Amino acid sequence: MPVITGLELSYFLILGALVVTAAAAVHMPGDLTAVIILSVFSVLSTVVFALLQAVDVAMAEAVIGAGFMTALFVTAIGKTRRSAGGKR
């Protein structure tokens, strides 16, 4: 019977958390909540890439995925809610 090391266990836990956050983001009723959960997904992806020693990919994912895309989505949600509220 193979022995699972601590590093393998951390991979399984993080990959399981990725699946849970992806499913949660799809099923969230609110847009802003889904964007925040997708940001958590991106941070977990960054950790996976760093554990796999792909530091350049991890840095790109952290900057683009967790930083820029989250800010872009939050700004877009804020602007569409304000414009939709102004027309009613």
Specify the residue for token string 């958590």: 40
What digits encode the pLDDT tens for the residues 27-84?
999 999 999 999 999 999 999 999 999 999 999 999 998 899 999 999 999 998 776 6
Phi, psi dihedral angles at 54 (to 5 degrees)? -105, 70
**Inter-residue contact 48 to 15 (CB < 8 Å):** yes
Question: In this structure, is residue 22 part of a structural domain?
Answer: no
Look up the pTM and report it: 0.83
Domain with 38, as residue range(s), is 6-14+29-79
**Per the structure, how many domains does the chain have?**
1
